[in-house]
Structure 1
Amino acid sequence: MNALSSDERLPLYQRLRDELAQQVCGNHWKAGEAIPTEASLAAEYGLSIGTVRKAIDMLVGERILERQQGRGTFIRRAQFQDSLFRFFRFQNLQGERLVPQSRILSVKALPATPVVSYALQLAGGAEVIRLQRLRLLEGDPVLAEEIWLPRAPFEPILNLDLNQEGPLLYPIYEELCGQVIASADETLTAEPVDAEYAQWLGIEPASPVVVIERVARGYSGQPLEWRRSRGHARHFRYSVEIR
């Protein structure tokens, strides 16, 4: 029988919640994988079903776990591609969504600037990895991205040809580096584009672009990625459902 290791002054359900969250953060289960049943966890930790259920309820409320009717409880895998379609109109003439292709323009290790250190909650001058990426639809550039990662957990990326790995980075983070993106905060702004990004996007310098800035976090809440995605205003849309 496993013992709970957190503060004994806390209620049992809180201690179990902390134990399970620690296991999720340590990749004991993979994103999308089912955790043991409530009965199994109750037996493993010597707790009542009600206590286990309350702990799981907390993790579901925090969007770390999700219940699937008739199947069990799973490590939640967030759908980050949805933000592209919330803010940009990427679709064909039939109205079908199209995921932009990916072209990595550069991958470099370098000291973090103060802005990057702040975004990733790193010590000043810490080593980071910068990716510069272009997203294309049918060969036409639609997004120019600058992506920053703390170097130590993402070191394997420096030895990989990312252009051979498909358009999505998060599966690479997970499979190659063991880093799972669990949540993200996004902000939306508009600005005139500088000369470098204007050239990438094939537009005039100072043209209006929409910028999605994202801080992506692991299950522990620690920032793992900071990115700025710039897209020409002609592709911009805003979509929200109000109930």
Structure 2
Amino acid sequence: MLGLGHFWKRVQARKAETATPEFADRSDAGRQLAETLQISQSLSSVAGDPVVVAVPRGGVPVAFEVAQRLGLHLDLLILRRIAAPGHPELSIGAVVDAKEPIVHIDEASVRRFPLPPGYLNTERQHQIAEVDRHHRMYFGEDHADEHDLAGRHVILIDEGLSDAGSMEVSIHALRHLGVAIITLAVPVASQDTLDAIRDKVEDVVCLSIPPSFGDAGDHYEDFPETTDQDVVRLLKEARRSERLLN
């Protein structure tokens, strides 16, 4: 497995030559990411074959291509943010899908906002229900053991990272689930975000670190919204491919 310093030097040199969007679409980004993962890393480890875990919804088309090309299982990390009252763009916690839902509250963030009586409990219950609804939408009535990641090597994938907030919560959730090794793999991210996250995971694979990030969509020629229907379709296709391989 390549060290971070070596990999980042090569990525930065590549980005300096790029003036147009780096990726045609999310599928193209996934194919490029799969190629780099295959070349740069030994994918087998003491934790066995990795599991590709996507952050829905935008991370799913990227992760689908990685899983298909590397012959790995595709799973999701379903996460719902608990927003600060009156500030929907700011998180004070999150609920993560698991056999028993994981509720993470950022106490430092909570102290910054005056919370109405009962707000936190109401939001917690609402987001737990939303996590359950999304799990049923994406996976149906499958058994929780099918998503057991304890002791595994997870390749965690999103479409791009402009800030560390949600990804830090995702990493925290995976550790809570007992994941042994986390490789964070993204097509594009800001340098500040990678600096904030790099010590929280075992490895980072990032194809592009632009000097000015903007939005993730700025780095794709075609960046349509990924719908819930897209997620369901890709998961079904991934399961069909896995059955053929087995």
* TM-score bracket, shorter-length normalisation: under 0.3
Normalised by the length of structure 2, the TM-score is: 0.23
Q: Whose strand proportion is higher, 1 or 2? A: 1
Normalised by the length of structure 1, the TM-score is: 0.23
Q: Whose helix proportion is higher, 1 or 2? A: 2
User: Which has the greater radius of gyration?
Assistant: 1
Where relative contact order (Cα < 8 A, 6+ residues apart) is larger, the structure is 2
